[in-house]
Chains A and B, each alone.
Chain A
Amino acid sequence: ETGVTQTPRHLVMGMTNKKSLKCEQHLGHNAMYWYKQSAKKPLELMFVYNFKEQTENNSVPSRFSPECPNSSHLFLHLHTLQPEDSALYLCASSQAAREKALGYTFGSGTRLTVV
């Protein structure tokens, strides 16, 4: 399988639950990203990983915990979320940051609803 795959596509969770979002890419990319996309709001970059190391955390609340065990996989662990965290969570990957011309490849996203 090629491209960026995100699972699950849809997730409904209670505020006391713990769940994880998974992202997997088979493109040989070395950088991976988590974005949050809420209705009527711009894309929000949450985390950036380069060569498995976290290089950016944009003041994301600690109830979101990323994990990047290798360059092909990225997780977003969720616990004690709030209803305002309901959104489409997008994963993207790219070649190392220095390869500016190549852009990002996005997954289809996980639609998260917190009840």
Chain B
Amino acid sequence: AQSVTQLGSHVSVSEGALVLLRCNYSSSVPPYLFWYVQYPNQGLQLLLKYTSAATLVKGINGFEAEFKKSETSFHLTKPSAHMSDAAEYFCAVNNQGGKLIFGQGTELSVKP
């Protein structure tokens, strides 16, 4: 069965600093992996997805994620945090039935 673990329910960075949000997955088949962002009182918006093409995936708002099979990881990064990046981020894996399995979410705070 597929599962996702996001390490750290809350991450705080300074404006301009590197953002690193961790996601590890478990899957018995080649996974499809996703990162979503949720701003307060909004729905989830797709940031980027890995679908077995390039292992380094670029998304919106300057975010990118690298698929590392050997580490079963799909960490989300951004070189320089902006105040507007403050939100909750969800990693998800698509299971064999096509259903998305979400991680617990990581809340990102950005300090001025």
Contacts and interface: CB of A to CB of B under 8 A. Distances in A.
A115 interface: no
A27 interface: no
Contacts, number: 55
Given A88-B41, A97-B99, A103 B34 contact: yes
A103 B93 CA distance: 9
Interface string A43-73: 1010010000000100000000000000000
A43 B102 contact: yes
Contact of A90 (B32, B34, B43, B105): B43
A48 B32 CA distance: 20
Most A CB contacts (10 A, CB to CB) among B45, B97, B103 go to: B97
A106 B94 contact: no
B90 A43 contact: yes
A73 B80 CA distance: 40
Nearest to B39: A108
A56 B105 CA distance: 23
Contacts of A99: 98
Interface in B60-112: 90, 92, 94, 97-100, 102-105
A111 B40 CA distance: 11
A111 B49 contact: no
Scoring A45, A56, A104 by chain B CB atoms within 10 A of each residue's CB, the highest score goes to A104
Contact of B43 (A48, A94, A100, A107): A107
B42 A108 contact: yes
Contacts of A42: 102-105
A109 B94 contact: no
Nearest to A45: B99
Interface of B: 32, 34, 36, 41-46, 49, 51, 90, 92, 94, 97-100, 102-105
Interface of A: 4, 6, 31, 42-43, 45, 48, 56, 88, 90, 92, 94, 96-101, 103-109, 111
